[in-house]
Amino acid sequence: MSRSASSRPPAPRAGAAELLPFGSGWGTYFEVYPRYQPGTLIGTAHYAHQDYAQMLFEGGVFGALLIAAFGWLALQRAALLVRMAFKDRRLSREAMAAAICGIGLLGFPVHCPAEFNMHIPANAIAAALLAGVYLRPLSVTGRKEAADD
């Protein structure tokens, strides 16, 4: 079960560069990567073992844009929550729930370069739930109620 980082398949840089701008297509890594796999690697890699590398390999520029868009949305929400906290000196329950989910969500993009954790269904579901609560629109009435308490 335990594998060192040196025994993992190398990141598919050559394949991703050749397949730009469109990528190989979602879910095709297992079929396409053997063309770019080093001869010294025994067996076939089913996954890139790096979520960002696999998204770039399969999705091309579109995959990179998805990553960038999510990052931009997450940073925008973080800035909004910080402004709300400094302006009101407190957060409504809704904003606090979003902030807590954002902190929980932070572990996923930090871990993605080191492992392929988003291919584990439980992790993907947890990340989707946290992202949904973190990025959903905050109600204006919730902010007013928090200020009135």
pLDDT, greater one: 2 or 125? 125
Q: State mean pLDDT over 53-80.
A: 87
Cβ neighbours around 38 below 10 Å, total: 8
**What is the Cα 95 distance to its own chain's centre?**
22
Element (H, E) at 130: helix 121-135
pTM beyond 0.75: the answer is no
Q: State mean pLDDT over 90-114.
A: 87
The letter for the amino acid at 67 is I
The model's pLDDT over 12-22, given as tens digits with 9 standing for 90+, comes to 555 666 677 88
For 149, counting Cβ atoms within 10 Å of its Cβ (0-12 exposed, 13-18 middle, 19+ buried), the class is exposed
Q: How far apart are CA 108 and CA 52, in angstroms?
A: 11
Percent of the chain with pLDDT over 90: 20
Q: Tokens 């606090």 map to which residue?
A: 96
**Residue 103: pLDDT band by 50, 70, 90 thresholds?**
very high
Q: Which two tokens stand for residue 129?
A: 């739930």
**Residue 10: pLDDT band by 50, 70, 90 thresholds?**
low
